[in-house]
Amino acid sequence: MKKRTKIIYWIATIWLSLGLVSTGIIQIFKLKTEGPGGVQNVVHLGYPDYILSLLGCWKILAVVALLLPKNPLLKEWAYAGIFFTVTGALYSHLMVGDSIGFIAPTLLYLILIVLSWYCRPSEKKLSASH
């Protein structure tokens, strides 16, 4: 693996993980924030606030799976779960007519997910033997 690719992987993965942990905590504790993932944002999109606890737990578990050594199958599931959650959020923002200011954090998450997944080291990839 090239050094550049490894650096991109770690920057994207750490930034993604920090974002997921911070929004996960906001969601688990149902904190009222103006930023992404908060109660106001989720209600604005038309979802009930009780979904926040589940989403927050999933995000924290996804970060654990991404940062644990080995377990490539678990990592694939984590990437898939994060991808589905973020694309669902992006679709929801588009459907309610949100401006780019509301959509930008979701697009950033999507870019970080793709970069982290694409640049991950071979030992973190699911091989044909799995």
End-to-end CA gap in the chain: 21
> What are the boundaries of each domain within the chain?
3-119
Answer left, alpha or beta for residue 29, where phi above 0 means left and psi between -120 and 50 means alpha: alpha
Residue pLDDT tens, the chain, 130 long: 699 999 999 999 999 999 999 999 999 998 777 666 678 888 889 999 899 999 999 999 999 999 998 899 999 999 999 999 999 999 999 999 999 998 999 999 999 999 999 999 988 888 755 5
Whether the predicted model's global pTM rises above the 0.85 cut: yes
Please tell me the distance from the alpha carbon of residue 90 to that of residue 97, in angstroms, as a whole number.
11
What is the largest distance, in Å, between two alpha-carbon atoms of the chain?
46
